[in-house]
Each structure stands twice: as structure tokens, then as C-alpha cells.
Amino acid sequence: MELYIHRYIPVTEVEGPGKRFAIWVQGCSIRCKGCAVPWTWVNENGTKMNVENLFEFIKDSKEQNEIEGVTFLGGEPFDQAEALGELGRKVKQLGLTVMTFTGYLYDDLKKQKQNQQLLSVTDLLIDGPFIEEKLDLSRPWVGSSNQNYHFLTDVYKHLETNFHQFQNKIEIRISQNGTISVNGMATKDTLKEILNQHTFKRIRSNT
């Protein structure tokens, strides 16, 4: 089984509780106005990866980084529900947790057969489209106030009343060739400010 992937990070601490392997799938049929990642909308612009290969990378990360789980985000994970459901099943067998983001509504997803496996392996689901007019970063990991947390298993149930322990953060990675990549949650203005400061410092340190 294959998946269209935008990218993955073997270990991150800003895409859900604890240390996690994060997979951004490629392709989203929802296309919210103001989406922060419109470059993830078209499947063909991504990389096709075999579920088995991705699973091997997750296994390696578990050994090397002691991750507690995997986060599926996008793009739209439920546009590739069957392949992600299969990957999630393997991830759970490894003793890891699964967190899944979706722009669809849980009530609609659970009516469709192809979504059942992915829903059944998901511990924490965050649902709902991003609505620009409802931009709200006060809760961890979500971008607008209409989006909701669904605790589909007991694993993260204790967080239901305890979300204040998490704050939205970003991670910035700088590769050896100077490419900068950012993940996590921040407004576009904050991101611009941080990246400008970084560039400024780099220029100063080079002179």
C-alpha cells in the first residue's frame, strides 16, 4: 500500500503530546481559505511512499528517539484513510499512540466505511476545517476556534481538562545546505518575524 507524503520528521515535540514522529500527507480536497500549507493540496506534488518503508522509519525512531507516538497531519489524512489506517494499525502494535488531524468532521467521517480503521487506531483526533475568520491559537495544536479534540481512546483522556500544560511552539530546522524548515503552530506574522531575526543574525555572524 502506498501513500502520498509531503514530508516526515522522525522526532518533534510540537505536533502533539510528547515526542512524536510526524507525517504530513500530500493532498487535500478540502482547501480551506487561508490554509497555511496550500502546497500540500495536490497529491502528485508529493512523494509516493510505501507504508512498509514508513513503518521501518517509525520503528527506527522509536529505538533512537524514544518517541511516544505518531502524528498524521497534512494535507488531509482522511483523503488517504485506508493506507494511513494500515500504517496506524502497525504503529499501535508497536505500542505507540496515534494522533490524527482532519479538516472533515468526526460525525461525517464515522459514517464512511473506508475511515473505520484509521478512526479505530486514532487516540486523539482533531477535526474541523480551518476557518480564517475564527483564527485562534490559544489552544495547543489547533488553528481556529471551531476545531475540536476527540478522545477516541482513554490514552490522552487525562489531557481533556489539562491542556494548559501545553503551549503552541515551533521548531526550526536548518539543514547543512542552509535550507530552513519550520513546523508547529504560530501566526504567519510571528513566523516572518522569527525568520527575519534568524536571517539577520546569520548575516551578522558571517560578517
Q: How far apart are CA 149 and CA 126, in angstroms?
A: 5
Q: How far apart are CA 27 and CA 91, in angstroms?
A: 22
Residue in 60, 64, 58 with CA at minimum distance from that of residue 88? 58
Least Å from the CB of residue 122 to ligand SF4: 16
From 58-66, 69-77, 113-121, 194-202, span contacting ligand SF4 (CB under 6 A): 69-77
Least Å from the CB of residue 52 to ligand SF4: 26
The size of the interface with ligand SF4 (CB under 6 A), counted in residues, is 13
Cβ count within 10 A of residue 195 = 13
Cell numbers that stand for 98 in this block = 496515534
Choose between 31 and 158: whose C-beta lies nearer to ligand SF4. Answer: 31
- 123 and 153 Cβ atoms separated by less than 8 Å: yes
Contacts of 77 (CB under 8 A, 6+ apart): 25, 84, 100, 101, 102, 118
Query: Considering only residues 75-94, where is the footprint of ligand SF4 by CB under 6 A?
Result: 75-76
**Does residue 103 touch ligand SF4 according to CB under 6 A?**
yes
Please count the CA atoms within 13 angstroms of the CA of 28 that sit on its side-chain side.
25
**Does residue 147 touch ligand SF4 according to CB under 6 A?**
no
Closest residue to ligand SF4 using C-beta atoms: 103
**Does residue 24 touch ligand SF4 according to CB under 6 A?**
no
Q: Which of 10, 13, 19, 32 binds ligand SF4 (CB under 6 A)?
A: 32
**Does residue 30 touch ligand SF4 according to CB under 6 A?**
yes
Which residues contact ligand SF4 by CB under 6 A?
A: 28, 30-32, 35, 37, 40, 74-76, 103, 129-130
